[in-house]
Structure 1
Amino acid sequence: MPNGVRGLLVLPTLTHVENVLTPGGRALKHEAVREYVRDLVAGRHPGAPAPSERELVSRFGVARMTVRQALDALVAEGLLERVPGRGTFVAPPRRTATPVLSFREEMTARGMVPESQTLALRLEQAGAGVARALSISEGDAVVHWRRLRHADGAAMSVEDVYLNEVLLPGFLQGPVPSSLYDELAGRGLRPTWVEDAIGAGLASDDEARLLGLPVGTAVLRKQRRGLWQEKVIEVSRSVCRADRYMVRVNLGGSD
């Protein structure tokens, strides 16, 4: 936490805020405020003060709730921190987390040769669980991509990934991408943060057949929710061979 105010920020003009636009060309107020504050504090040392809610309300002519939403997003990112009774300040850098890797990148980093076989690639209506995870409405269009993943010629996992079709226009019209994360990166949507949940289960008939296992063999089940900024980009469910797949994460002690 900061030990004191180490200088005041001079608020620049707002001309660049007009560049924060929706696809329809209209600026979202909280996003405009958020990007304005992000630019304002870029490069500032930890503990430097951020503009107050009152200053931002006055400068933008928006509701305090709009300003708070913008600052909340930057706090969640770890760029800012709130000190009760004192204000909002530039946060110290977070510890380095395990990098967000695709299956191909992960296997390559392990010295293995990855391959993927597309089993299905189609447009579907989102069920309740997928819709909730993607923050869309049940019945909305989603891209469902099912793949069998190999490493060094051996089956490693079966993956079902669901993508918000609205964010990926033309995704199904071209050739099948060789890499999902490369395709998302080309659209400026590669996930920068993911939430993985991993548990144990038993292979179903179909899963066992694809993975070359006896039915009922213990497997790892991984669910992933990938986000770019605050947008949920992908939701996936993977069934992994427990005898070949190992999960590695970086953990640190609490302060």
Structure 2
Amino acid sequence: MPSPMPLAAARAGVPERGELPKYFQVKQKIDAVLDELRPGAPLPTERQFADRFGVSRMTVRQAIRELRLEGRVQRSGRSSVAGQPKLVQPLTLASYTEGVRRQGLRPGRQLVVFERLAAPPALAAGLRIEPGAPVFHLERLLLADEERVGLESTYLSADRFPALTDEFDPSTSLYGHLRRSGVVFADADERIETVLASPREVQLIGTSPALPMLLLNRVTRDAQGCPVECVRSLYRGDRFSFTARLTPEPD
């Protein structure tokens, strides 16, 4: 899916009134330097940037901190390097595995939890089952070329999929397994918001507690309109962006 063209005015960041903060001016200049570097290339040091732009190292540090949160800069040991391009995930009824593979990267999933539990009322309502009915909870780390980029929790009715723990390999695509089992995915409701990761999620994903995360909550339904799964997916904001194709609703 082609991405929309960036707007120069938006990137310029010029406020309606007043001057640009000095750190933001430096951020723009470093951003231009990054445009000339390949991913993983080392950046000049803070002192070199400070001398080059005639500002303090503290101002440079603040600019680089923001660029790091945006994914434009990454840390490599004690140095800073140009960041990797963000993974672009389409908002479609496709699995994470399929989306990452389309971008030429090697998808992977690492099992954290695969358990059977009683559905609390909110989850039961999402799956349209009775509160307390058994559900499977599958929690996995999301990997792209062995890099940890997210965390996904999936809940499914254990009565509907009683053999899931015996038949499904957690390192593979759950969507692929369900399709082979006869499930036809029809539609889904998905909500996207920004959050900060919990201490547990920070430890699992291996990211900074200050890094904004993209949280997706999805309920997926089959061709009969019956919920198949409730999914909570947490993605690193510095490594992911999402696209969607929009069409007009009928009048």
Normalising by structure 1, report the TM-score. Answer: 0.59
**1:152 partnered with 2:181:** no
Is the counterpart of residue 140 in structure 1 residue 142 in structure 2? no
Deviation sequence 1:12-40 (CA, Å, 0-9, x none):
xxxxxxxxxxxxxxxxxxxxxxxxxxxxx
SS of structure 1 residue aligned to 2:163: coil
| Paired AA for residue 218 in structure 2 | R
Q: 1:209 aligns with which of 193, 203, 209?
A: 203
- Any conservation in 2 of the 1:208–1:217 contact (CA below 8 Å)? no
C-alpha displacement at 1:191, in angstroms?
Answer: 2.0
SS in 2 for 1:137: coil
**Distance in 2 between residues matched to 1:195 and 1:232, nearest whole Å:** 10
SS at 2:175's partner residue? helix
Aligned to 1:116: 109
Show CA shifts across 1:202-239 (max 9, x none): 11111111222122421111001111121100101011
Q: Deviations over 1:92-135 (max 9, x none)?
A: xxxxx964100000111222210000111111111122111101
Distance 1:198 1:98 in 2: 10
Confirm whether residue 248 of structure 1 aligns to residue 243 of structure 2.
yes
Alignment match, 1:183 = 177
Residue 171 (structure 1) aligned with residue 171 (structure 2): no
210-219 vs 110-119, which deviates more? 210-219
Q: Which residue of 2 aligns with 1:52?
A: none
Assess, with a 3 A threshold, how the Cα gap between structure 1 residues 254 and 172 changes in structure 2: closer, same or farther: closer
Tell me, yes or no, if the aligned pair for 2:142 and 2:148 is still in contact at 8 Å: yes
Contact 1:195/1:226 (<8 A) preserved = yes
Deviation string for 1:49-99 (max 9, x for gaps)? xxxxxxxxxxxxxxxxxxxxxxxxxxxxxxxxxxxxxxxxxxxxxxxx964
Tell me what 1:237 maps to. 232
Aligned to 1:47: none
Aligned to 2:220: 226
CA displacement, residues 148-182 of structure 1 (integer Å, 9 cap, x when unaligned): 00112211110110001111121112452422011
1:192, 1:160 → 2: CA distance? 21
- In structure 2, the gaps of 5 or more residues are 1-89
Structure 1 range deviating more: 223-232 or 210-219: 210-219
Cα distance in structure 2, aligned partners of 1:181 and 1:175: 11
Q: Unaligned regions of 5+ residues in structure 1, if any?
A: 1-96
Specify the code of the residue in structure 2 equivalent to 1:101. Answer: A
Task: Give distance in 1, aligned partners of 2:144 and 2:176.
Answer: 19
Equivalent position of 1:200 in the other structure? 194
How many pairs does the alignment contain? Answer: 159
Structure (1/2) with the larger strand percentage: 2
Report how far residue 194 of structure 1 moved: 1.6
What is the alpha-carbon distance in structure 2 between the residues aligned to residue 190 and residue 163 of structure 1?
15
Aligned-residue offset at 1:190: 4.0
Distance (Å, rounded) in 1 between the aligned partners of 2:93 and 2:187: 7
Give the TM-score taking structure 2 as reference length.
0.60
Describe how 1:75-86 pairs up with structure 2 within 5 A.
Answer: none
- Cα 1:98–1:158 change in 2 (3 A) is closer
